[in-house]
A and B are shown apart, each in its own frame.
Chain A
Amino acid sequence: MSRLELYSPEGLRVDGRRWNELRRFECQINTHPNAADGSSYVQQGNSKVLCLVKGPMEHGANLAAGTKLDPNGPVLSLNINYPPFASNERKKRPKNDRRLQEISIILKRCFMKTIVLKNYSRTAIDINLTVLAMDGGLLACFCNAITLALIDAGISLYDYVSAVSVGLYDQTPLLDMNALEENDLSFVTIGVVGDSDKLNLTLCEDKLPLDKLERLISLGIEGCHRLKELMDLQVRVAGGQLQERQ
């Protein structure tokens, strides 16, 4: 069995990046103007995620019958669609994959802190995520895609939430891990509010030495800031186009 050098002594990662480099990040908003109120497409390296947002509306389509709307804010419902072709091993995921359910709960919590709740009492917001290809950074891609789609849907947010995963190779933190690295190393995913140092999201499913965590997070925050810039750029481009059309 051949194993790869995940981080060579020369300081290069398995795909040729250095430790503090993000993968190629591309995003678009308003990709599906007719299908939803807000939509976005996010590509981080080879991970590709599509997000559609419907709402705010009076009845959520995804909501279970009898769910009461909340007078203090919107009811978020999150649906993740992870087709078999998206990952390397074509395996069918069960309907209620525990991991995806957990992720959707985490994302809901994160965005309930980001949406300006008081504007959306007694409404429902449906978020649909579709994974087109996955090469690491699942949660981070979701988070970034939702942020953009919510912005596209015109839902008022306090700020961007940009997310990225950071892993640890021996003593070296690695920014924005791909699937190969994620398989082998411990990592933490963090989501940062705008340009601040506030974390709106952290998820670590592996063991990590506690004394390294701070270093990972500080590297992650810088990565998130950079992602936020890129997303902001794209939002402004889309905004510009909208203006032109009107």
Chain B
Amino acid sequence: MASVKRQRPTDGLAVTQKVFVRSRNGGALKIVREHYLRDDIPCSSVCCDDCEEYYRPSPDGQPSEPILSGEPLEITKNGIGRHYLILDTNVVLNAIDLLESDKVFYDVVIPQTVLEEVRNRSYPIYMRLRALCKNDDKRFVVFHNEFKTDSFVSREKGESAQDYNDRLIRKCALFYSQHLAKHKLSVVLLTSDKNNIEKAVNEGIRTMSLHSYVSLLPNYSELEDMLPSNETFSRQLTEISYQEYYSPARLMGGIKSGTLFQGTINISSYNFLEGSISVPSMPKPLLVLGRENLNRSFNGDTVVVELLPKNKWKKPSTEIVDEETINSNGVGDEDEDEVVISDQERRLLAEHAVAAQGEDQKVIPTARVVGIVKRSWRLYVGQLAPNSASKDQVGGNAAKSCFVILMDRSLPKVRIRTRRARELLGKRIVVAVDSWSPTSKYPDGHFVRVLGDVEDKDAEQEALLLEHDVEYRPFSKNVLDCLPKEGHDWKVPEKLDNGDPQLAQRRDLREKLVCSIDPPGCVDIDDALHAQRLPNGNYEVGVHIADVTHFVKPGTALDQEGASRATSVYLVDKRIDMLPMLLGTDLCSLKPYVDRFAFTVLWEMDEDANIVRVDYFKSIIRSKEAFAYEQAQLRMDDPAQQDELTQGMRILLQLSKKLKQKRLDAGALNLASPEVKVHMDSETSDPGEVEVKKLVEANSLVEEFMLLANISVAKKIYDEFPQVAMLRRHAAPPATNFEALNDMLRVRKGMHISLESSKALADSLDRCEDPQDPYFNTLLRIMATRCMMAAEYFSAGNYGYEDFRHYGLATEIYTHFTSPIRRYCDVVVHRQLAAAIGYEPLHPLHRDKAKMDLVVKNINKRHRNAQFAGRASIEYYVGQVMKNTQSVHEGYVIKVFSNGIVVLVPKFGVESLIKLESLGDIRTSHFDEDLYKLTFTDKNGSERQVSVFDRVQVSVTSQLDEMTGKRKAQLLLA
């Protein structure tokens, strides 16, 4: 290293400051800081020769040079002449945009005092100011006035920090004006504080307000618009404060008296400031708009809401609002005047609300959250906000506050404190939410662990599982201890009369020609079938389901684990099993050529697939073959195959067609989902291509018999256990769900979906055909599916018989029986059925209604999560596939907002938002809400209209969202 000239500042004057700060817990904390004063701080003016020796090179040898020009702007009016500007904090905060303009403000001095004040008030503005100082053209300098002997003043006793800072700034201005006087340069202090102006003028400093200074400039007229509206306007930079929640007693009372409502809040995935909440007493969900009204609720929280006065009732927003597009006090935040209304008025309001909804006005009652009953907080996956970590270019060791943007866009950012901000940047991390105090805009949380890099396959997969609350850890030892000791060597006993009374009850069906038909590559084979012609001309059809309950006994650790996982989760390249591999893929799986225990439903059917007799029993089978769908199809289609097995399959096929027809006649719906399948490259396990799922007749063959088995079993267990039978229902969709869709159909296509019954719905869906567009019908089915209610599991005692209906399948009663390896519901049903046929007594666990309710609740939740996880996994892989390609595809507009449209691309099964900004000119756009039409001028200048159901060409690319680290389909109108 070159010679270091070291100067001890002790030669100069060292001042020690003592500051007393009250700490949070009420104690006093003494902070003592050293403060060295020095002379060698240059004024940074080119023409000043006194400061020449003060320019020191930086440690890596970069020379520093004066920045302020020798020929600054000259204003002849008021005798200002050539001058530099010194800015006060309030000017910087209010007029940072103006400062950044290239038309004005050159040669500006920022005193250190101001810089620090700005930093404390608003970090983003501080960053912009620092960026300005780096900009060579603007000639902004920071003058460290507090470290320079000549411009430092000590704080006086009793002087407020604000006054002291003002005095420091004035002293700085004074220093500059005296220092530069001999070079005929003046200094103008700009401040918007009237007091400060007065004091400064008394001290002989040339001081002006921003307005009066700008009005002296030659290009005033240009700049006028950029001035902050009001000089005295002080930006509220303090974080917003939320309303305190009501006391529990008040909440309870309010709910009882019908003035407050409890429900689960559901935040729109398009607009994170819009929540809706379904309350039993209202026909339609209530709207909760804006940060203040949402009052710190998370998506999925159980909250208590209060109706807002009628003049605040609103339409649901037709805009798309992302967190990133919203700055601190932007759109969507209500100006919140304290609303005080009496209980009586509230009751009245509730009546009005019901009335308003009934009248089908487009205004929807709005509400605000006044209490939270139960938080839905769990572990969340997200990534560090990019700006919060680049904040400090330097690897500091002290903990810093950073924001974590969660993967779920309907949730707010979470503030965490971490020492490893830089390390964590660009990683998927897990955070837990701890609290959300009324004074903080965002919730506080803490870092839990790192999953891996963003976009890394394993990290993304784990993130996805965590995000959907899927238990994916390996099975614990006591779970594995419940498995048969023989492991893979377990065999069905040779002799059936070995004294085991249960074994004796099993029927030996090993001679039957049983086969299984499954998707290719399936290893957990739940079901197998056989059929044969009986001497009386009827058919014997058997559905054999893996006998999982033989291995999973109620009350064991294995059973508990299964109950808590509730379902297997299928991701594109991974399966998270509900039961350990040994059972799922070997001992229970109805593999071909080996003996397996099964639970059999045996029908006798006539030629027209009417059930003559049904029998349920446990059995032993030996599957003759395991087919993939296509393979089975080929075999049935091949006339050369005349063996008995194929014959049996043909019987099955023929019967299944009849069953299907019956079902459709009864009004079963044929709905559609834009599901796709991702092909994996087998060697690199990179996603290869995306394909829309194809169906062959064999699919439907299996499906029909499974449905039939489920229905038969449902009837049986309901007869035996009318209170606790595990069933599945699908409620009819409320007409309101279809209102929007029907309105769109009517306006755009002149069509209508009728909702009287599932039959009517099915028929009307069939009628909605657009001759020009064969896909239109499928599109409509996809959209109709979204208006449907979700099917759910329930225990029979919770609903009346008429509510058991499965709307989609058009059957009176339904359950899940056929996939016990991957669904816990089926396990329960197996046990109930076994008890119903007297095979073994029903375990008390499944007799107790309260316990069953818990099981059912968990199953429903897990089932939903598993579906979401599966979809998210496909979405991720589709994103990876598209990463490498850009192509133009056909898409359909399914939603129109005033500032964007949502387009579905069937080829990839993706839908994505196209914002108006990327479509064309925002200013000329016109949104016709009644016609669902958006008119705008596109990038080429020609007028363009887009409305719902339009077929459009879109170019599909995939883009990494910097904020969430999610890869999303990026669509652009082609």
Contacts and interface: CB of A to CB of B under 8 A. Distances in A.
A associates with B: yes
A25 B9 CA distance: 10
A206 to B, nearest CB: 6
Interface stretch (A34-42, A108-116, A183-191): A183-191
B520 interface: no
Interface stretch (B32-40, B298-306, B888-896): B32-40
Contact of A9 (B59, B142, B147, B397): B142
Nearest to A170: B394
A215 B16 CA distance: 30
Given A15-B33, A180-B33, A10 B142 contact: yes
Interface string A128-172: 000001010000000000000000000000000000000001111
Contacts of A21: 6-9
Contacts of A17: 9, 36
Interface in B130-169: 130, 133-134, 142, 144, 146-147
Contacts of A102: none
Contacts of B60: 171-172
A88 B398 contact: no
A178 B398 contact: no
Given A2-B120, A9-B133, A206-B397, A16 B32 contact: no
A118 to B, nearest CB: 37
Nearest to A206: B397
A88 B21 CA distance: 11
Nearest to B15: A16
A188 to B, nearest CB: 13
Given A11-B64, A185-B396, A185-B397, A16 B10 contact: no
A222 B4 contact: yes
A45 interface: yes
A22 interface: yes
Interface string B387-411: 0000011111110110000000000
A184 B397 CA distance: 5
Contacts of A5: 115-116, 119
A135 B142 contact: no
A150 B298 CA distance: 65
A93 B116 CA distance: 34
Contact of B58 (A2, A11, A23): A11
A1 B35 CA distance: 22
B119 A2 contact: yes
B415 to A, nearest CB: 10
A8 B142 contact: yes
Contact of A185 (B29, B134, B394, B401): B394
Given A19-B59, A171-B60, A206-B397, A226 B6 contact: yes
Interface in B2-55: 4, 6-10, 14, 16, 29-38, 41
A18 interface: yes
B1 interface: yes
A219 B1 CA distance: 8
B310 interface: no
Contact of A135 (B1, B4, B32, B393): B32
Contact of B398 (A184, A222, A226): A184
A31 interface: no
- Sort chain B's interface into a size bin: 35 or more
A25 B10 contact: yes
A89 B116 CA distance: 24
Nearest to B117: A2
A186 B34 contact: no
B550 interface: no
A9 B130 contact: yes
B396 to A, nearest CB: 4
Interface in A191-229: 206-207, 215, 218-219, 222-223, 226
Contacts of B352: none
Given A8-B144, A16-B147, A22 B32 contact: no
Given A21-B9, A24-B10, A25-B10, A16 B58 contact: no
A207 B625 CA distance: 63
A8 B392 CA distance: 12
Nearest to A208: B395
B37 A16 contact: yes
B56 interface: yes
A223 B4 CA distance: 10
Contact of B29 (A1, A89, A171): A89
B72 to A, nearest CB: 20
A222 B6 CA distance: 9
Contacts of A88: 29-32
Interface string A70-94: 0000000000000000001100000
B398 A183 contact: yes
Contacts of A9: 130, 133-134, 142
Contacts of B56: 11, 18
B134 A20 contact: no
A98 interface: no
B35 A15 contact: yes
Nearest to B141: A10
Contacts of A133: 32
Given A2-B120, A218-B1, A46 B32 contact: yes
Contacts of B134: 9
Contact of B9 (A24, A135, A173): A24
A25 B8 CA distance: 9
Interface in B600-621: none
Interface of A: 1-3, 5-12, 15-25, 45-46, 88-89, 133, 135, 169-173, 178, 180, 183-186, 206-207, 215, 218-219, 222-223, 226
Given A172-B59, A226-B8, 4 more contacts: A15-B34, A17-B36, A88-B29, A222-B6
26 contacts: A1-B401, A5-B115, A10-B142, A12-B147, A16-B38, A18-B56, A21-B6, A22-B6, A23-B34, A24-B8, A46-B16, A46-B33, A46-B34, A88-B30, A135-B32, A171-B59, A172-B58, A172-B59, A183-B397, A184-B394, A184-B397, A185-B395, A185-B396, A186-B397, A215-B1, A226-B6
